[in-house]
Every structure is written in C-alpha cells, then in structure tokens.
Structure 1
Amino acid sequence: MSVTESKAKTSKKASSKAKEKAVSKELVTLLESTPVVLVPFSQLADTELNTRIVPHTDKEIRGLADSIKGVGILQNLIVIELPDGQLGVVGGGGRKKATALLVSEGLIDADQPFVPVKVVPRELAVAASMTENGQRKSMHPAEQIIGFRTLSEEGNTPAQIGDLLGYGARHVQRMLKLAGLAPSILDALAKDELTTEHCHVLALENSHERQLQVLDMAKENSYNGKPQIHQIRSLITASEVQISGSGKFAFVGANAFEDSQIRRDLFSEDDGGYVDKVLLDTHLVNKLEIVAHALQENEGWAWCLHRMDRVERYGEDAQTYSFLPTPAPLFTKEEQARLDTLTAALQEVETHDDEYEIQQQIEDLESAVAIRAWTPEQKAQAGVVVSFEDDEVCIQRGVLLREQKEGTEGAKADSETRTSSGITYTRQPEPVDDISLPLLTKMSSERTLAVQAAVVQQTPKAVALLAWTLCRDLLSHHWGATSALKASLRCSHNSLLENAPSGKEGTAYLALKAEIERVTAMLPDGWDRDFTTFFTLKGEQLLSILGLCAACGLDGVQTRECGHTTRSPLDAVETAFDFELRDWWQPTKANFFDHLKKPQIVEFLNEAGFTGAASDAEKMKKGDAAELAEERMASNRWVPVWMTAPQPKEAPVDDPANAENVEGETHSDETATTDAA
C-alpha cells in the first residue's frame, strides 16, 4: 500500500534522473561506509526518530527471536548517540524487541557486546531510518508520512527532503500535505481504519477541527459506519465548485483569485482544486461587465447589459425585452473568396487540429461580417447583452427594451425615458446596491440564521409556512421522480455559518443548535431507516419536528446580477413572524462597520439620528469611526434598511407631531456629543 508513490519515482528528464540517483547513492554510500560495531543490549534505547510506528506482531517478534537465537543478528541496527551515552535505535526496532525477548528468557546476556550497530549523524537519522526500514519491510503509509513530517520539522526544505531521499518535488509536497492531517486521523490510518484515499480527500481541509468534524459526519451518514470518500469530498466542498473543467473558472482566470482563495487538490491528476461558488460568480459577473462595456464602446450600441443568463424570448424576459431582426450578412468579394478557400480546405484536412483551426477561421470571418451587418440606426435604439451559458460567453446583439407596464413592481424600481434615437433604460439605485457583494453575502447569511432562530420559536406559524409551501408545490403541479412523497429540504447551515460573521458563536445559531439537540433527543431509534417509527410520536412532537425543518429550510442569502441586488425572500416571513433583527444581531466594528467605507459609516450614523457622531466620524480615520459607530449603535435598535423587511411609510415631516420627534432625536444626539467633548 502506498501514500502517493510507494517508491521514489524516476523523473523522465535525464538531468533529474541523474541527480536523484546520485543523491540516493550518497545516502546509501554513507550507510555502507559506516563501520559495524558490537554493543551490549543494555546500551540500546528507543527513540522517536524511528519512523516505524506500526508495531510488529507477537508472531513476527517470536520468529525474529528464533532466527537470532540460531544464527545471530544478520542485519545491523541503525543508531544515534544520545546525550546520556545510550544509543537510540532509529532502524531495527523489531530486532531490538526480539533481542529483548531472548534477554528476558535468559538466552542472551544484556551486558555482553552482541548487537551489531552502525552509528549515524543525528541530522541523517530520519532519512537513514526510512531507507533502512523500507529495505527490510515495506513501510506503512502512516510511517512514510510521519518520516517526511519529522524531516520537515528538523528544518529541511521540500527540495532538501527530495534530494535526500530521491523523491520528486510533487511527491514531497503531497507527503507534507498529508503530514498536516490531524494526529488522530494519522493514527486511524496506521490502524488501517482509514485508507490513504480517505486521507487524500481530508487533506483538502486545513483545519484539524474541521477535518474531524467532516469525518464524523461522513461516518454518521454512511450505512455501515465507514466513511465514503465522495461524501467527505462533498462535505468539505459543499459551497464550492471544482475548477477543473469549469468554463466559468477558465473564463475568469486563476489570476483573479488570491492563492488562499483556491483550495488546491494536490492529489488530483490535473492539479485541480475548488473555489467558492459565490466568489467565482462575483468575478464572472465583473468580467462580463467589462466585456459588455467594451462591446458597447467598440461596436456603438446604445446600451449594454451583463447578466448570468441569456435573454429569453419567452417568460418574464419577453415582458422586458424584444429583438430586432438579425440583418443578413453581406460579404465583400475578398471575404467571399476567403470563405470559399477555407471551406474547400476544410474538405481536405487530414488531422483534427487542422480541421479545428480552419473551422475557427471560418467562424471568425462569419462573425466579423455578421457584426458589421448591424446598421448605425439599429445600434442607436438597441443594445448588446453579455451572459454566460453552457460554459461559454453568450453575446446577444440588437436587443430592445420594452416599455414597463404601469403599476407593476418593476415600474416602481425602474424608469424609462424616450429619446429621438430610442429608449434609454435606467434603474433607480437602491441603498443595498452600494454595499459590496462579500458584505452582502455575510449580512444576508447573518440575517437568515436570525430569522431561522425566530421562526423555530413559533411552531404553529412555522408549520403553517411548511404546509403552505408543500400545498403550493402540489397545486402548481410539482413533478418529480417516482418516490412516494416528493418533498425535500435543503439546509444551508454550512455555508451560512461560513459566511455569517457571528458563525457558531452567534446568538441565533446557538438557539438553533439547542432546538436541534432537543428535537434529536426525541427521535425514535432507527427513525432514519423506517418512517413508521414516527407513528409513535405525539402530535406535539411532530409539530416541533416540522417547525424545526421549516425554520432550517429558510435561505435568504442575496446575490447581485448586473449591479442589481436581488430582493430578500425573507421580507414576507419577517413581517408575518414579527421578527426584529436586533433581537439576534448587534452591529459591531468587527462584524459590520469594518467592512464599510468611511462615508457609509457616516451615512448610517446620520440615518440612525446620531448627526453629531456622524460629524465627528468624518474627521476620524476609518477604524476610529467604526469604533464610534459600534459604541453609538449599541444604545439603539438600528439596522440597515436593506437588512430588514420594508416598513410602512412614516408620516410626512411637515406633520407637527412627526417633526417634533425628528427634532428631538437630533437634539438628543447633539447633546450627547457635546457632553462627551
């Protein structure tokens, strides 16, 4: 059994091959040139530098002892000198144990020079141990990993380790990655409770705590308690997308990401890895925007739009967009001759590469002619839409904007004005559009956890919400596979906890966790394998289970497309459940204000009525302004308008009663600021 390679592999390049052989020969030469001396058994001691950690069986030790009794120790032990004068064994632990057995049986005198040893320098002890043990008996993968880890801890670089043992850089990188696994995982590998393939996948995660958590979850989810490799991988990369074969990643490019943002898979054949789905889509949208504006400027369209999906000619898109007829391409004589030549050449190609190259030239020529066919008059009233579909950039030209219907929700958010050249489409900006997408993801994740915690405390309403959802699916002809009940639940706690600043320590998640533990305790034995066990539950227990499921199924994480932020699906739920975010979340410097620009901090202080503090914040550095905002916001129940459901419109300011309230709030803050000064 091997870890990544069972033995040192020879490089295909001649220079590397010669180097590896020369270096390996150097270590072997050292062992061969070191003289053998006989020492008494009583002078030998165990040492942690011996890379052999999987113990020999009693049967193996008995066999070694019988052999030593008959013909002596044929292969010397490898030792180092210890400060107390003893000799520490780094290679030959089994022979030492067998000799100890003979000493205990009175067949060998412990003080008699009997054991042949070679004394090696301390700095080469681990390498010598790995080489000697590997020659005697194939090393267990766990022993190889620990050997590489020890060499690294001694200050050797990966290149030095590779040179010393004759391994390539790739193998050394993989071994050191495995050496970073939690100690208990390596113990399980040594006991053959896990395979090296399990370790390869667990090494995708750097955190020991997370490695063990994933392993426990995989064991619980397996039918026989044995973790499945695919399930471990799925748990670790639940919110991520594989970069190998991803058209999105190929389009965006690795340079758009920091090294820490790519989860590298050293054990994949194609140097693959994973990136966060939201982050990848963010970079994708940004690049689509660049392409869209470039096309608008270079080709002369009236407007441009970038979005994830192409504009469809049916459904909601058909209410907003229409298309100009595609003009017929007009080839010049030179272009037509060039096209004819390429088409003829395409019939005579002999290789796929040549065929691909000619076909690409034909497509480029046809595309250039088709773009040129659009007239200036058409471009003056239409736009170009850039999207991403089927792992390719999709460009739609000649797209028209229809007039928005009066009274619709879209008309409230969007406005149109006619000009002599056509329609100019303008969307009124909303406050949330100024918030960065990473912060939007964090805050909407925080908000989702808080709403879940609030919903789970109102079981009747939660059950009503679940029943309504299932009923809506039923009445809208929700089709599925042939299972008896087509209902499913997707809990996004892993991604929510990863994105929400409060994480597992937040008030909302702690409340959810307590309810999950309470409900779990009431479940019958074997419930997950037999639905009839639920027949034994009382109605109150079933309601608690349904309420928890409904709460944990909520997902209100918002996204942004074409610069437009999606509306939160939590708005209606918050209103129905009388939800107040400040019952669950407190804005602080660390979890909120540090992620804002200073003008936004000033704006929010003004919004909360702290005009004096806002004036002070304008003169401060951003960090000090964030601390001031945390201090002031602690005394009220302010939350950003985009993190709460829309409120009923307040009375106009010219209302005498309302005007008095506004003035009172401002005066109160100015007084506090003056006192503080």
Structure 2
Amino acid sequence: MRERLHPLDEFRAMRTLNDKGDDAETIAAVFGTTAAVVTQRLKLASVSPTLHDVYAADGMTLDQLMAFAVSEDHERQEQVWDLGNHGYTMAPRFIRDRLTEASVRAADRRARFVGLDAYVAAGGSVMRDLFEDDDGGWLTDVALLERLVDEKLNAEGERVGTEGWKWVTVSRELPYGFQRGLREIDGTRPELSEAEQARVDAIHEEAGALEDEWQDMPELPEEIEAKIDALDTELASLVERPLTYDADELARAGAFVTFDQRGTLLIERGYVRPDDEPQVEQEPDPVTGEVAANDAAIEPSQPGEGSRPAHPAPSDDSDEELVKPLPDRIICELTATRTVALQDAFAQSPSIAFAAVLHAIVLSTFFLASRESCLGISVNRAVFAAQAPGLKDSPAAKAIAERHARWRDRLPKSDKEIWDALQLLDGSEQAALFAHCAAYAVNACWEPAPKYDNGRTSAHTIARRIDHAHVLARTVGLDMVAAGWAPTVENYFGGITKPRILEAVAEAKGPQTAGLIEHLKKDDMAREAERLLADAGWLPEPLRTPVIDDPADDASSLPAFLADDVDQTADYAVAAE
C-alpha cells in the first residue's frame, strides 16, 4: 500500500519547484490541481519552520496553520503560538487577530479615504489572507497611511479654500455639535442647462433599460455592474453640484473638511461664526422714534414697589404746547406694569404658555441669537469638557442629527414666521418638537469640581445633576447597551490602569477569565479585554443607571396628565386660536 504524503511534504515540494523557477500553473499541472490551490499551498509553506514542526507532529490543526499564514513575520508567529502556554484557546480567529493587530484593515475609513492604489503606489504593502474573506486585507505601513491621510485632507482643504471662504477647518473627525453657535447660510443649486438635463434624462432611460433587462437575474455580470456604477457616478456629478452662495455671505463664512466612516470626503460649507456676523445698527425705539441710549439712572424695580424719582424733573413751561416723546422712565414703568399683568394672564393659560415656551426654545434651537420672543427662555445646551472618539457617529448622535434635519426642513426659514407655523402643528407634533428642542438641554455630564468656589459649579451641584440624570434615565428607560455602547481600547480600556481592566473582566466574565490576561502588558491586556467583553453587555459605573428597590420612592413619578406620554401631553400642547 502506498501511504499518502503528509500535507506539509506537499507544501514543501511545491515550494522547491517554485524556488527552481516554476510558476503556479506549471506546479498545478504536476500535482493535478489548480493554480489557486498552489498559491495557497505556497503561502502555507512560508510559515515559520518551528510551527511546521509542530504541525508535522500533529500539535496544531491545518486551520490554525492557515491562520498563521496571514503574516510573514516568523518571530511574531512564534510569539502568538507561545500564548497557548498561558491558557489561551488558539482558535484561528484569535491567531489572525493577534497577527494583524499592528496593521490597519483595508476597510478602515483612513484606508478607504486614501485608496489602496494610492497607498501601494507610495510604497505601502498589503497583507492578505488567502484562506478567508479578508475584506481587502490589512495595510502594514501605518505611518505611511497616516501621512497620506494628512496630505490628502490638507490638499482638499486648500482646494475648498480657493472657493472664497473666509476660513476652512480641516479635521479627521469633527466633534459632535461642531456647528453649534454658528449660523448656516443658504445656498442655491445651479440650474441644469438644456444639454445637461438631456443627459440626465438619457442616463435615467439607460439605467431603467438595464434594470428591466437584468431584473430576473440572480447576479449581475461584472461589466453590467461597472456600467451601472459609471452611470451613477456621472448622474451624481450632474445633479449633486455644489451650491452657490451670495458673495457677501461667502466672504464671512467658512467650511469644514473631513471624511466619514466610509472614507468619503465630507465638506460642510457655509457656517458663519458669531464674531464674523455683520454689525446691526440699533433700531429706533418704537414709541419715541429715537435710538435708545443707555440710561444709567434707571434701576430695576420689583412689582409693587414705587419707581418714581423722589424729586421729579422740573417742567419747562415754554414747551408746554409741544407734544414731546414720553420720558424713558415713564415708558419703563408702564411696560413693567404691563409685564406683571401679562405674567398673571400667561400663568392662567397653560396651553398658550406651552405654545410660547415651545416658540422660544425652537428659536433658541434653530435660529442663532433670535429676538422674536419676549420670553427669557432659551435652551442652554450641554457643553462636553471631553468627547469620546466617534461620538458624532454614534447611533444616538445620528438619530438626533436626522431628527433635527427633518424639523429644520419643515420649519420656515425666517424666525419671524415660526409662531404662525407652530400654530399649524397638531398637539402631538408640537409635543414631539418640544421634546426634541428640550433634549439639547439635558446634561448628564460629570466634571471635576474646581478647588475653589467659582460661583458656577461645585461638587454638590454636580452630584445633584447626576442624581437627577439617573431619575430621568429610569423614566425614559435608557439602555446604553441597546444604544450601541460596548467597551473598546479606544473608548475605555486604553485610558485606565491594569487593575481596572482586570476588575472589569472579572466582573463581567469571572475571576478565572481575568487571571488568563493578568500576565500581559497593558496594551495587550486592553485588546484582550475588548475581545472578551465584546458581547458581554458590561458597562462601567458612569454609564450605569442605579436600580432602586421601591419605585414609589423614585422622584421620577409623573403627574397624572403626563402619565401616558405624548398622547396626554398633546392635550396641553394645543396653541391658542
């Protein structure tokens, strides 16, 4: 009986022929297989000889050997294999993760932004996995990739700057709320010429014909997919052209240049900083017809207190026949009296009060420095002293941005028209808009209390804020795991100490699991903790909502009229006719 060759002997035999100059097709003919199989076998033959010996002695499986073939660094291969002596389960996925941890996936936003062709042309190398779908592989020269990202991003910033903007901010990742406090100017989309419109119609017709022809096919041929992609690209270049802006507005506004999670260039144009706003001349007083001047003699008074001067100003008998403007003090006193009366009437009209507060916070949320409301109410947005990476792209941040965009498109462009527009909304719509605007004021942020009292915040104030945030979280049923948060090296483990990492793993997976990574260095320990807790649903204490034993003791109990959420709130949201 003839015994079959050990796979390792076959790998080595193929490598011997390859070293002699035979190509994959020639070797495939000798062994009666395909060139693709030969390429894979040659890759397996390039693994460390030490690991070959382990495989020959049946110390590892073929799947494990294939996982080691993803890297050509024999020393690193052997280091990863030695981890098995410390109790690690040497699953193929674990091996691949360890061998590729110092590289960047081709699907990474940075790699997509630069492009694999540009990276390779600059001298970069790509590590591929011939045995599994690797989604394009891994880029091994991280320093080169970072340099190419900066060069391309800065070049795009310079190109946008030639459009005439006053300033251009270039950033790899714009923080959440980057446009806060800025006024967005309106632009117009250039009209298509007759020739361009004709081409758009032709593209639609051609794309429709292709869709009708291939709609019953389970898979499109590559040439058809390429043709459809080309049509989509051409159509986008015709339809999605940059907006044009007023020259004066363009000269005082700026733009942000970055790229998104798909590696697509993202340009946010047309934002005006408060310091660049044109100076508005003070309007004449509607009563006197004169420009109001600062009157240092007028002091605020409380309702019911006398505000007449102890010594009235002497009258000028010679001017008795002239109708002079009312004195400033008289106007202040009369309007103060009217304000108190209006406050009392306002308090007795809950539906109108709701509409007025909604009007005020809509102006504060969608219009910068609007003065169209007489209510001293605005949305004081939470200020983040520090932001976790990727906050802008979190599911919650995207949901808020999409909701804001929907309301912005629906509301009038002028703040003078907002009041009338709000009256056209039904009760549930008003309540939904109210909740959206009010949400910006929610602040559950902890911050280090100043050593000395600054009159703004203290440890007690911060603690009370966090306590009420817990009440609110319980009321709305906040679930940070469902919101998409999971501990990673970037957002948690990379910024804490080793004992804290071990504590987290022990709490989520048990002390025995924590003991398996106790010997690792900090960086390796952080990466292992991320892997172990990926699907554990574990949260660090600042993200947890404390559970109370007796719901009756919770301050989150709602009044009866709010117990059914929006449906009941809507009854109070109907604006006055």
TM-score with structure 2 setting the length: 0.42
TM-score of the aligned structures, taking structure 1 as reference length: 0.37
Structure with the bigger RCO (C-alpha within 8 Å, sep 6+) is 2
More strand by share: 1
